[in-house]
Amino acid sequence: MPNTPPSNPPAAGQPPGAAPPPAGRQPRNRRLPAHERRDQILDAALHEFSERGFGAARMDDIAARAGLSKGGLYAHFESKNAVFQALMQRMLMPDLLFGERPPLAGAPAPEDALAARVDGFLDRAYERLEDDRFIRTLHLLVAEGPRLPDAIAGWRESHLRLLRRQQAMMRRGVEDGALRDSALTDAVQLVHAPILLAAILKLLQDEAHARSVLPRLRAAHRRLLLDQLREPGPD
């Protein structure tokens, strides 16, 4: 994004993201263990890529944010693409879009156990929304994923695996009589959908709105899960 005119009058609403480039760098920090440096660099890259987009992110800024010089950065990664790839590798392990653990199913359990499990699930899910790195990773995935199909091939596969496993568990829960057969057991995604929506809301709406809406959304989400999954009971 060369000009953005400086000249160019940086009028309100201009693309180069609100936050200014990272700050200067500390004085001479030498020789970190290579893998620590790599992590610092990837953190910096996550920040910059999500802040400006892959194309518009600058190696200079990534380097500065990671606390070394541009030249030093190239000692660890041979190109901008390589940084991006490595970032995608790292982001892969815990599934980001649909949670790394099966949400609700499990061995048969008393009624209260369902409520407990639902609350545990919601706790984890909505907590992640407060994690800056989670939000940025999601942003990056949605923003750059479509134009980099190959880069996220890994994510795609692991996501599919995860979904299948979760779907199977739901089915088993129904067979076991622990869960009611419902729309949610037809498609696990419906369990996750409100969280994705909440995340996107956080990305696009201002904090004030997010803070006021999220609790209501979560409460409704809870009601939905219990309503749909709770077995009517033997009365």
Q: Which two tokens stand for residue 37?
A: 């440096």
147 binds DNA (CB under 7 A): no
40 touching its own copies, by CB under 8 A: no
Read off the tokens for 39: 């992590």
Q: Which does 235 bind (CB under 5 to 8 A by kind): its own copies, DNA, none?
A: none
Q: Which of 59, 91, 57, 90 is nearest to 73 (CA)?
A: 59
**Least distance in angstroms from the C-beta of 87 to its own copies:** 11
Site for its own copies in 67-106 (CB under 8 A): 78-82, 84-85, 88, 97
**Out of 92, 129, 142, 210, which residue is the one contacting its own copies (CB under 8 A)?**
142
Q: Name which of its own copies, DNA, none residue 217 binds, using a CB cut-off of 5 to 8 Å depending on partner kind.
A: its own copies
- Which single residue is written with the structure tokens 């009517």? 232
- Smallest separation (angstroms) from DNA to the CB of 228: 47
Closest approach of Cβ 102 to its own copies, in Å? 18
- Is 71 or 149 the residue whose CB approaches DNA more closely? 71
Query: Sign of dihedral through CA atoms 175, 179, 182, 188?
Result: negative
Q: Which of 20, 217, 232, 233 binds its own copies (CB under 8 A)?
A: 217
Under rule CB under 7 A, residue 153 binds DNA: no
Q: Is 107 in the site for its own copies (CB under 8 A)?
A: no
Please list every residue from 16 through 75 that binds DNA, using CB under 7 A.
25, 28-32, 34, 37, 56-60, 68-72, 74-75
Side-chain-side CA neighbours of 115 within 13 Å: the count stands at 5
State yes or no: residue 223 binds its own copies (CB under 8 A). yes
DSSP letter string, 184-226: HHH-THHHHHHHHHHHHHHHHS-HHHHHHHHHHHHHHHHHHHH
- Residue 206 contacts which entry, DNA, its own copies, none (Cβ below 5-8 A, type-dependent): its own copies
What whole-number distance in Å separates Cα of residue 142 and Cα of residue 145? 5
Only one of the segments 21-29, 107-115, 171-179, 189-197 lies at the binding site for its own copies (rule: CB under 8 A); that segment is 189-197
* C-alpha dist (Å) from residue 169 to 30, 105, 119, 126, 162: 50, 6, 18, 22, 11
CA distance 71 to 93: 30
Please say which residue, 81 or 89, places its beta carbon nearer to DNA.
81
Half-sphere exposure of 199 (CA within 13 A, CB side): 26
- Choice between 107 and 137, CB closer to its own copies: 137
Contact 122, 114 (CB under 8 A): no
| Positions in the binding site for DNA (CB under 7 A) | 1-8, 25, 28-32, 34, 37, 56-60, 68-72, 74-76, 78-81
